[in-house]
A and B are shown apart, each in its own frame.
Chain A
Amino acid sequence: MLEFIPVSAVAVTQVASAAPEAMTTAATAAGASSATAWWVWPLLLFVTTFILGILAVLAGVGGGVLFTPIVGGFFPFGLDFVRSAGLLVALSGALAAGPGLLKRNLASLRLALPVALIASTASIFGALMGLALPKDIVRICLGLTVICIAFLFIFAKSSEFPKVPKADALAAAMRINGIYHEASTGKTVDWTVHRSPLGFLLFVIIGIMAGMFGLGAGWANVPVLNLLMGAPLKVSVATSKFLLSITDTSAAWIYLNAGACIPMITVPSILGIMLGSFLGVRLLAKTKPKAVRYIVIIMLFFAGIRPLLQGLHIWE
Chain B
Amino acid sequence: MAVQREKMVQQATEAPPEQMLYGNLLLVASIAGIALLVITFLLYISGAVAPHVPVEDLPKLWGRGVDAHHYVEATKAPVGWGWFSMIGKGDYMNYLGIALLAGVTVVGYLILLPAYIKKKDGIYSFIVIAEIVVLILAAAGIVAAGH
Contact = CB atoms under 8 A, between A and B. Distances in A.
A81 B64 CA distance: 10
Interface residues of A, number: 77
A181 B68 CA distance: 47
B71 A259 contact: yes
Contacts of A102: 15, 19-20, 22-23, 26
Interface string A147-183: 0000000000000000000000000011000111100
A188 B41 contact: no
A249 B72 contact: no
Q: Which has the most chain A C-beta neighbours within 10 Å: B64, B92, B112, B146? A: B64
Contact of B91 (A116, A253, A263): A263
A127 B105 CA distance: 18
Interface string B124-147: 100110110011011101011111
Secondary structure call for the B interface = helix
B123 A250 contact: no
B134 A121 contact: yes
A259 B79 CA distance: 5
A109 B123 CA distance: 13
Interface in B13-36: 13-15, 19-20, 22-24, 26-27, 29-30, 33-34
B71 A262 contact: yes
B98 interface: yes
A109 B59 contact: no
Interface stretch (A92-100, A214-222, A226-234): A92-100
B137 to A, nearest CB: 8
A96 B19 contact: no
A135 interface: yes
B134 A117 contact: yes
Given A38-B58, A188-B9, A253-B138, A128 B124 contact: no
Contacts of B71: 78, 80-81, 259-260, 262
A249 B135 contact: yes
Given A88-B101, A114-B127, A120-B135, A95 B59 contact: no
A72 to B, nearest CB: 9
B145 A127 contact: yes
12 contacts: A35-B59, A38-B59, A124-B134, A128-B143, A132-B146, A252-B102, A253-B141, A254-B143, A259-B79, A260-B67, A263-B44, A268-B41
Given A91-B101, A254-B145, A262-B71, 11 more contacts: A39-B45, A79-B64, A98-B30, A99-B23, A105-B15, A113-B128, A132-B145, A254-B143, A257-B79, A257-B81, A264-B45
Interface of B: 9, 12-15, 19-20, 22-24, 26-27, 29-30, 33-34, 37-38, 40-41, 44-45, 55-56, 58-60, 62-69, 71-72, 77-81, 91-92, 94-95, 97-99, 101-102, 104-105, 112, 123-124, 127-128, 130-131, 134-135, 137-139, 141, 143-147
Give me the 5 closest cross-chain CB pairs, A-B, nearest first. A131-B145, A102-B23, A263-B94, A260-B68, A99-B27
